[in-house]
Amino acid sequence: MNVSLPCYCNALRQASRVITTFYDDQLRPLGLRVSQYSMLQTIRNTPGIATGSIARALDMDQTTASRAIAALTREGWVLAKDGDDRREKHWTLTSKGSALLKRAEAAWRASQREIESKLGRERATNLRAVAEEVVSAIARP
H or E, element range at 79: strand 78-82
Low-confidence ranges of the chain (pLDDT < 70): 1-2, 140-141
**Domain-located, residue 120:** yes
**Domain-located, residue 27:** no
**Domain-located, residue 131:** yes
Domain count, the chain: 1
User: What's the pLDDT at 88?
Assistant: 85
Q: What is the CATH number of the domain that holds 95?
A: 1.10.10.10
Average pLDDT, the chain: 93
**Domain-located, residue 8:** no
**Domain-located, residue 103:** yes
Q: Tell me the per-residue pLDDT of 30-44, one tens digit each, with 9 for 90 and over.
A: 999 999 999 999 999
Contact (Cβ atoms closer than 8 angstroms) between residue 92 and residue 77 = no
User: What's the pLDDT at 97?
Assistant: 97
User: What's the pLDDT at 37?
Assistant: 97
The pairing of beta strand 89-93 with beta strand 49-50: antiparallel
Q: Tell me the per-residue pLDDT of 59-69, one tens digit each, with 9 for 90 and over.
A: 999 999 999 99
Buried b or exposed e, range 94-110, using 16+ CB within 10 angstroms = eeebeebbeebeebbee
Residue range(s) defining the domain that contains residue 37:
33-138
Give this prediction's pTM.
0.88
CA–CA dist 10, 2 (Å, integer): 12
**Domain-located, residue 62:** yes
